[in-house]
Amino acid sequence: MKALRTAVLLMALPLTFGAPAISVPATSVPPSPADGDLVYVGMHGAEIRAGRFDARSGTLAMIGPVASVPRPTWTIRHPRLPIIYAANEDGNDGARNGSIIAFRADRRTGSLTRLNEVDAGGGGTTYLTLDPRSMTLVAANYAGGSVATFPVLADGRIGPRASLVAATGSGPHRRQAKPHAHSVLVDPTGRFILVADL
């Protein structure tokens, strides 16, 4: 069985998980279950879409919507299980928090089954990363200006929030009136979390 891969489509920019950004022709012919690697596309709409990427031909054949999620702008995969994590970027208005949703992926059909959802601790959850050594999911909350961590349980579900760190202050530009955590990475040693503040 082919490895499960994920992808994110942010503002119509195709990206394949684990590979450099590439542009691929989309086809309207429904793919067969064995044709290519699964690709999951998140966007500013209200759904996650699935497709199959054929690396030999460079084609991306869309399967269609597989989950209803408000603003699923970032998706990542579990390193071993057929689990997809989606950031719900809701709450950029500061009125509510974003969330993170865990889904089990059907490798044959691409369909997603919701496992659980956790409050991300801040509005506008815009980026996720997963440290495979500690099995910790790290989220950047853009509107909340914060970073949250969550344990990933043995079955792939997301555990209760372990920490929440909110930045304070402003940047040198007038547009930077407050912090906006935009991405997070775990450094190669696993000792530090690097946060980009937009």
Q: Please state the domain extents for the chain.
A: 7-197
Tell me the CATH number for domain 7-197: 2.130.10.10
Give, in order, the Cα–Cα distances in Å from 109 to each of 23, 31, 180: 24, 10, 37
Burial of 15 (0-12, 13-18, 19+ CB in 10 A): middle
pTM exceeds cut of 0.85:
no
pLDDT tens-digit profile of 72-99? 989 999 999 999 999 999 887 778 899 9
What whole-number distance in Å separates Cα of residue 95 and Cα of residue 79? 33
- Alpha-helical regions (H) of 13-122: none
Distance spanning both ends of the chain, measured CA to CA: 40
pLDDT tens-digit profile of 151-184? 999 999 999 999 999 988 888 888 888 888 999 9
